[in-house]
Amino acid sequence: MPWNEHLCTNGYPAAFTNADAKNVVHRAGLDEPFWVTVAGNTKSAYWYVDHGGFTLCVVSNVHPQWGGAVAGHSYIPGWRNWQMDTPYDRVPVIDKYEVDDNPPAHIDLYPRPRRR
């Protein structure tokens, strides 16, 4: 899948593949997310992950239900036509995060060069 060049105006990792996207999603969630929000029946956690000289945003969704949350989808904004199921071992972790009604002052959803 290609990057959406209209949204990814700060560049993006070269030679990025769906396998790379899956690896990046699995690396997200190892730390606390920088933001957790809920809309309707979808709780979303946001992380930054460095890959190929860029910082990528990863969004993982779960759907809280009586008896426990179920996996939604995870994706990387700007990576076209790709998503995967939120890793099942992350579902109960994401479900327990507190929702933050105050988003960060600035959110980079699309790739940006890694800051040093």
| Three-class SS of 91-103 | HHHHHHCCCCCCC
Both tokens of residue 65? 């239900």
Domain ranges of the chain: 18-113
- Say if residue 68's pLDDT is above 80: yes
Rounded to an integer, what distance in angstroms lies between the CA atom of residue 73 and that of residue 81? 12
Q: How confident is the model at residue 116 (pLDDT cuts 50, 70, 90)?
A: low
pLDDT score for 98: 92
pLDDT score for 74: 98
- Determine the Cα angle at 110 with ends 51 and 22, to 5°: 45
Q: How confident is the model at residue 96 (pLDDT cuts 50, 70, 90)?
A: very high
The helix or strand, by DSSP H or E, that contains position 45, with its residue range, turns out to be strand 42-51
Burial category of 106 from C-beta neighbours within 10 Å (exposed 0-12, middle 13-18, buried 19 and up): exposed
Both tokens of residue 68? 């426990």
Q: What percent of the chain has pLDDT over 70?
A: 98
